[in-house]
Amino acid sequence: MSKPKIGIIICTTREGRFGDKPAQWIFELAKAHGGADFEAVDLRDFPLPLFNELKSPAWESPKNEVAQRWGRKVAELDGYVFVTGEYNHGVPGVLKNALDHTYKGFNRKPAAFVGYGGVGAARAVEHLRLILVELQVAPLRNAVHIGMAEFMGLLQQGKTFADYPYLAQSGAQMLGDLIWWTTTLKAGRHASA
């Protein structure tokens, strides 16, 4: 069985977003950790319309070409790291819309989280966990939460992730769990195919 492939999904698309910084940081940490192949997946590369299909993707593939491309990308990955901010105590609308456009490709795969903002996007991550359960994704317990102090330090005070070594510790623990679950669920999917 080949090495698992994990997508690091940048979950915001707005101009001037912060998400690129933690996505690049967790990508570098993941490459150093090993155990899987990692790929950055940017929702900007999938400019989806608001969900308006006749049927749920659980029952029928979307007609929209971008949604089909997004679905293929999701399906080729064995696990996910969602890098997200928090918008009004929830997930960014563009992320929710992307999740609404696909279903089967997510089934029986694990997801971990890197959240940033006021409370480290804890409410958005909790919201995202509930959405992912409906997509038959196994959301993992351990996550990285970049709180307001770290967020402002990285955004406005010239700090780097090296100034917050406890974030790397959280990241390493999260990645270890994610790689274990990704490998285990991939083997399970392979065995039941």
Domain containing 95 — which CATH number? 3.40.50.360
What is the predicted pLDDT for the residue at 19?
97
Mean pLDDT of 51-56: 94
Q: Based on the number of CB atoms within 10 Å of its own CB, is 46 exposed (0-12), middle (13-18) or buried (19 or more)? A: buried
What is the predicted pLDDT for the residue at 160?
98
For the chain, what is the mean pLDDT? Answer: 97
* pLDDT band at residue 46 using 50, 70 and 90 as cut-offs: very high
Mean pLDDT of 173-183: 98
pLDDT above 90 coverage of the chain, percent: 97
What is the predicted pLDDT for the residue at 20?
98
* pLDDT band at residue 1 using 50, 70 and 90 as cut-offs: confident
The total number of structural domains in the chain stands at 1
Which structural domain range is residue 68 located in? 5-192
Nearest to 48 by CA among 105, 90, 101: 101
Nearest to 144 by CA among 122, 111, 176: 122
What is the predicted pLDDT for the residue at 118?
87
Q: What is the pTM of this model?
A: 0.97
pLDDT, tens only, 61-120: 999 999 999 999 999 999 999 999 999 999 999 999 999 999 999 999 999 999 999 899
